């Protein structure tokens, strides 16, 4: 029985190779817009002389540029597998800090995201020769997600004070899915040009955050700060009675951030 099974598997593999379409590689760039916003990261302060207001600034972590390099193998004319390495660089979201003091402080906060992802996917094509539509469905593994925050405040009273703080969130893996619809334009037997529309549904919950820059009037303040002021570790549950020493990172509740987006990309594909 084992010999029969091995024989059948061998025949299937040989048949697959005999009817396969071979390897390919492609590179492309794209532009995306976010489809989901976070509403608790940035705020805007307004003061018209009689009314002071703080309002939410939606933070869109999914808008930005993407570059990707992929290798694939078409098992059949209509079906194959692909593995992509993708780097996303997000646009900055700008707001005012809630620490802004009217008449004394002018503050600006900027938040952006980035993500290096590995995307294994299946590819389905129409199998046409000149203009070939295709669809691709994959799992997004964000192996290096980041959120960057910059806070800059200027005190206009005497003496003037300038404060600049850079903070980054990191740790953990982002998970999601990718769905793509595109068209290959066959320029020759070895080179294609492609255009595609892509949707990504990705969320990420960072494990840590850390202040990497803290200056006051151009002077580095980090050496004067303790570990609790600089670093934070995030948990699903925290003990409110716990006294955290200054030599340890602070503890806060975990949050989840969406990197969902939809966009277009184009590039070239090389067939082997």
In this structure, the answer to whether residues 176 and 242 fall within a common structural domain is no
Q: Is residue 4 domain-resident? A: no
What's the confidence (pLDDT) of residue 108?
Answer: 86
Q: Residue 116 — left, alpha, or beta (φ > 0 → left; ψ -120 to 50 → alpha)?
A: beta
164-188 residue pLDDT tens? 999 999 999 999 999 999 999 999 9
Q: Is residue 78 domain-resident? A: yes
In this structure, the answer to whether residues 177 and 197 fall within a common structural domain is yes
In this structure, the answer to whether residues 267 and 197 fall within a common structural domain is yes
In this structure, the answer to whether residues 73 and 125 fall within a common structural domain is yes
In this structure, the answer to whether residues 235 and 266 fall within a common structural domain is no
Let me know: does 184 contact 190? Beta carbons within 8 Å.
no
Alpha carbons 145 and 174: distance in angstroms, whole number: 7
What the block records as the tokens of 222 is 């980090």
Q: Is residue 72 domain-resident? A: yes
111-144 residue pLDDT tens? 999 999 999 999 999 999 899 999 999 999 999 9
Q: What is the CATH number for 66?
A: 2.40.160.20
Let me know: does 26 contact 264? Beta carbons within 8 Å.
no
Q: Is residue 51 domain-resident? A: yes
In the chain, the percentage of residues whose pLDDT exceeds 90 is: 72
Let me know: does 168 contact 148? Beta carbons within 8 Å.
yes
In this structure, the answer to whether residues 180 and 54 fall within a common structural domain is yes
What's the confidence (pLDDT) of residue 105?
Answer: 54
Model confidence band, residue 106 (pLDDT cutoffs 50, 70, 90): confident
In this structure, the answer to whether residues 88 and 127 fall within a common structural domain is yes
Sign of CA dihedral 220, 221, 222, 224: positive
Alpha carbons 26 and 155: distance in angstroms, whole number: 51
Q: Tell me the sheet residues that pair with 128.
A: none
In this structure, the answer to whether residues 78 and 179 fall within a common structural domain is yes
Q: Is residue 181 domain-resident? A: yes
Structural domain range at position 68: 20-93+112-147+170-206+256-271
Question: What is the bridge-based pairing of β-strands 174-186 and 131-155?
Answer: antiparallel
In this structure, the answer to whether residues 217 and 121 fall within a common structural domain is no
Sequence-ordered alpha helix ranges (H) in the chain: 2-18, 227-230
Q: Is the pLDDT of residue 213 over 80?
A: yes
Whole-prediction pTM value? 0.85
Q: Is residue 104 domain-resident? A: no
In this structure, the answer to whether residues 237 and 187 fall within a common structural domain is no
Q: Is residue 76 domain-resident? A: yes
In this structure, the answer to whether residues 49 and 127 fall within a common structural domain is yes
Q: Please count the structural domains in the chain.
A: 2
In this structure, the answer to whether residues 141 and 220 fall within a common structural domain is no
Q: Is residue 3 domain-resident? A: no
């Amino acid at each position: 029985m084992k010999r029969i099974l091995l024989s059948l598997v061998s025949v299937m593999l040989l048949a697959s190779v005999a009817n396969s379409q071979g390897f390919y590689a492609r590179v492309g760039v794209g532009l995306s817009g976010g489809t989901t916003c976070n509403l608790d990261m940035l705020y805007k302060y307004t003061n018209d002389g009689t009314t002071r207001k703080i309002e939410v600034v939606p933070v869109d972590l999914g808008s930005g540029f993407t570059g990707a390099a992929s290798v694939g193998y078409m098992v059949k004319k209509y079906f194959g597998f692909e593995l992509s390495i993708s780097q996303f660089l997000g646009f900055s979201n700008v707001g005012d800090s809630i620490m802004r003091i009217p008449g004394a402080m002018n503050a600006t906060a900027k938040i952006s995201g980035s993500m290096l992802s590995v995307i294994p996917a299946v590819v389905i094509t129409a199998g046409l020769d000149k203009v070939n539509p295709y669809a691709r469905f994959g799992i997004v593994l964000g192996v290096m997600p980041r959120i960057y925050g910059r806070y800059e405040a200027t005190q206009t009273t005497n003496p003037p004070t300038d404060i600049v703080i850079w903070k980054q969130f990191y740790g953990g893996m982002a998970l999601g899915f990718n769905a793509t619809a595109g068209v290959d334009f066959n320029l020759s037997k070895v080179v294609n040009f492609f255009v595609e529309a892509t949707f990504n549904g990705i969320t990420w919950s960072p494990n840590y955050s850390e202040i990497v820059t803290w200056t006051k009037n151009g002077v580095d303040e980090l050496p004067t700060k303790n570990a609790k002021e600089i670093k934070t570790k995030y948990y699903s549950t925290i003990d409110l009675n716990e006294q955290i020493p200054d030599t340890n990172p602070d503890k806060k509740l975990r949050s989840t951030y969406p990197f969902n987006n939809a966009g277009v990309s184009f590039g070239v594909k090389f067939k082997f």
